[in-house]
Amino acid sequence: MEIFYGKAIFRGIAIGKILFNSKNKQQVRRTKIDDAEAEISRFEKAKEEASQELEVLYNKALKEVGESNAAIFEVHSMMLEDDDFNDAIIEKIKNQLVNAEYAVAKTGDGLADMFANMEDEYFRARAADMKDISERVISKLVGEDSSFQLKEPAIIVAKDLAPSETIQMDKSKLLAFVTELGSSSSHTAILARTMNLPALIGVKIDSGWNGKFAVVDGYNGKLVIEPDKDTLAKYKKIQQDDLEKRELLKELKGKETVTKGGKKIHLYANIGNPSDLSSVLENDAEGIGLFRSEFLYLDSDNFPTEEEQFNAYRKVAETMGSKKVIIRTLDIGADKQVGYFNLGHEDNPAMGYRAIRICLDQQDIFKTQLRALLRASAFGNISVMYPMIISVNEVMQIKEIVKNVMEELETEGIDFNKNIEQGIMIETPAAVIISDELAKEADFFSIGTNDLTQYTLAADRQNAKLENIIDTHHPAVLRSIKTVIENAHKAGIWAGICGELGADTSLTETFLSYGIDELSVSPTFVLPVRKVVRDTD
């Protein structure tokens, strides 16, 4: 028996055989051709097949993991149609009289290297996407299947996994992921959490494990190779207990989220788009505590119109009925870049031109969204909250803009909720420190613990090298949360958490002791959190 350690991405136990995904890069030889036009036609045909495959992957991901997670395949489709990529390939075929496989490989490698050497973290991440796209086209040219097929249930071990590889796998046979590279914020890690699969990153892998029997311990970050009899029995017992707990959780549907002492907690769900609503309802969330509105911008080639936004917000509001729907205004920038915004290069985008800063600077974009939000408020219980606030002055500017938009709608005779609840996201140390002042100008606080943690610890949460530094339980983070809740209550407003810490059941009792009013979590965490709250005295 051997034990290897990594970082757990999703809690749970997986038991089964290891299938090692070597993901060898296809070897491409340079071949001289005689007919350039015929070779270009071969490339165009392969590109079309790759495009169709990406569309299938997008639709598959849409059904299985929601629109926000499926968006990566739309990005791949756009990169596949990029003029620089296509023109460079065609030029190589014409001028150098080389085979299409070589032209694609050479172009893909060149663009991937260019992305990898950029300072911006977002663009560096595009290097892996570029390689993924090139490999897909080459596989079509050589007539090979680019998907990784599972013939029997297996624990997938790999150096790293691309989102396309993850989503193509048969979920009924996928037991767990174990990778050497990647971070807890990677697309594959997010997919693992969405699919409720135990997953480890940062494990020094070995191809010799292929076919060996193993246990993935997603609670303690362990990979146990060839467990002995007693160890295997222990993990089978934990796995069975987990299954029984999940069945018991179903009994909590329809029950209140209330402590033994009678403290009522509002337990809401986070969503990225309207397609996530089925999961919200299935898991019995009491409302939506964070609706990330930027999906409308990420999924569009141009600024979404007021009508497009209104229809999306209205759909969610009507589906949820009287239940609260808190919509966060545009949070573009940092790791969420949109080409048509023309934001330009920034050395440190996480602390740059993003979120409310863009909205206050480009008020035409902001006003369009506010008009859509206010119009939709007539069809349900909508609240709105503003991200990345650092000053009272920003809040006052927002209030003035909202007031002007309301006056416009009144003049036009358009219905809206004149008393719509407006909240502030607490994501920066600045907002924590002045939360007593901000509380006087807000209807509620929602603490975004993901950004609050990285800004408080000065550690980029997208950086895999900092995994051991980003401590979400750091006293500074917890004291900040406590301070915000206390200042909210002093001003007579409520405070909630909408970041990933809200789903950390090891902290639920701590948050209850701080007096938290609301927790908003991924839909699959609603019932586990409800159980902890109901078990707390």
pLDDT (tens digit, 9 = 90+) per residue, 26-44?
678 899 988 999 999 999 9
DSSP strand pairing (13-21 vs 213-217): antiparallel
Residue that is written with structure tokens 């909210």 in the block: 488
68-126 pLDDT tens trace: 667 778 888 888 988 889 999 999 999 999 999 999 999 999 988 887 777 655 566 67
Q: Are residues 447 and 523 located together in one domain of the fold?
A: yes
Residues 136 and 152 in one domain: no
Whether 266 is catalytic is: no
How many CA atoms does the CB half-sphere of 62 hold within 13 Å?
A: 13
CA–CA dist 72, 74 (Å, integer): 5
Task: Tell me if 268 is assigned to some domain.
Answer: yes
Indicate if 232 and 266 belong to the same structural domain. Answer: no
The answer to whether residue 438 scores a pLDDT higher than 90 is yes
345 and 486 both lie in a single domain: yes
Instruction: Give yes or no: residues 320 and 401 share one domain.
Output: yes
Is residue 337 located within the same domain as residue 451? yes
Domain boundary among the residues 110, 142, 174 is at 142
Which listed residue (76, 266, 359, 498) is catalytic? 498
The answer to whether residue 242 is domain-embedded is: no
**70, part of any domain:** yes
In a domain, 246, yes or no: no
User: Over the stretch 412-425, which tens digit does the pLDDT of each residue have?
Assistant: 999 999 999 999 99
Question: Dmax over Cα atoms in the chain, in whole Å?
Answer: 82
Q: Are 530 and 255 in contact (CB under 8 A)?
A: yes
Cα separation of 498 and 450, whole Å? 9
CB 447, CB 438: distance < 8 Å: no
Sign of CA dihedral 334, 337, 340, 345: positive
Burial class (CB in 10 A: 0-12, 13-18, 19+), 448: buried
- Active-site residue, from 76, 187, 266, 359: 187
172: number of Cβ within 10 Å: 7
Q: Which structural domain range is residue 300 located in?
A: 256-535
Q: Give the full edge-to-edge strand order of the sheet including 2-5.
A: 2-5, 222-225, 213-217, 13-21, 154-158, 174-179, 199-201, 7-10
For residues 327 and 459, membership in a common domain is answered with yes
Q: Give the HSE-up count for residue 75: Cα atoms under 13 Å, Cβ half-sphere.
A: 25
CA atoms within 13 A on the CB side of 192: 29
Q: Is the dihedral of CA 28, 31, 37, 39 positive or negative?
A: negative
Q: Are residues 107 and 206 in the same domain?
A: no
pLDDT tier at 337, thresholds 50, 70, 90: low
- 96 and 213 together in one domain: no
Query: Beta-carbon neighbour count of residue 234 at 10 Å?
Result: 14
pLDDT tens digits for 125-159?
A: 677 788 888 988 998 998 876 566 778 999 999 88
- Whether 294 and 319 map to the same domain: the answer is yes
Whether residues 360 and 431 fall in one domain: yes
Query: Can you name the residues that pair with 384 across neighbouring β-strands?
Result: 327, 422
Query: What pLDDT score does 184 carry?
Result: 64
% of the chain surpassing 90 pLDDT: 53
Domain CATH for 160: 3.50.30.10
498 is catalytic: yes
Question: Given 89, 119, 142, which residue is the final one in a domain?
Answer: 142
The answer to whether residue 250 is domain-embedded is: no
Number of independent structural domains in the chain: 3
Q: Is the pLDDT of residue 429 over 60?
A: yes
For the chain, percent helix, then strand, then coil, each to nearest 5? 50, 15, 30
Contact (Cβ atoms closer than 8 angstroms) between residue 423 and residue 382: no
The answer as to whether 244 is a domain residue is: no
Q: Is residue 490 part of a domain?
A: yes
Amino acid letter, 273: N
Query: Do 137 and 162 sit in the same domain of this protein?
Result: no
Cα 248 from chain centroid (whole Å): 28
- Identify whether the C-beta of residue 188 lies closer than 8 Å to the C-beta of residue 125: no
DSSP for 44-82, written as a single string: HHHHHHHHHHHHHHHHHHHHHH-HHHHHHHHHHHHHHT-
CATH assignment of the domain containing 42? 1.10.274.10
pLDDT confidence bin for 273, thresholds 50/70/90: confident
Compute CA distances 191 → 185, 188, 261, 451, 533, whole Å: 10, 5, 37, 20, 27
**What is the residue-averaged pLDDT of the chain?**
87
Query: Given 124, 142, 160, which residue is the final one in a domain?
Result: 142
Residue pair 527/252 in contact (Cβ under 8 Å)? The answer is yes
pLDDT of amino acid 197: 85
Give the three-class secondary structure for 267: strand
- Residue 338 domain-assigned? yes
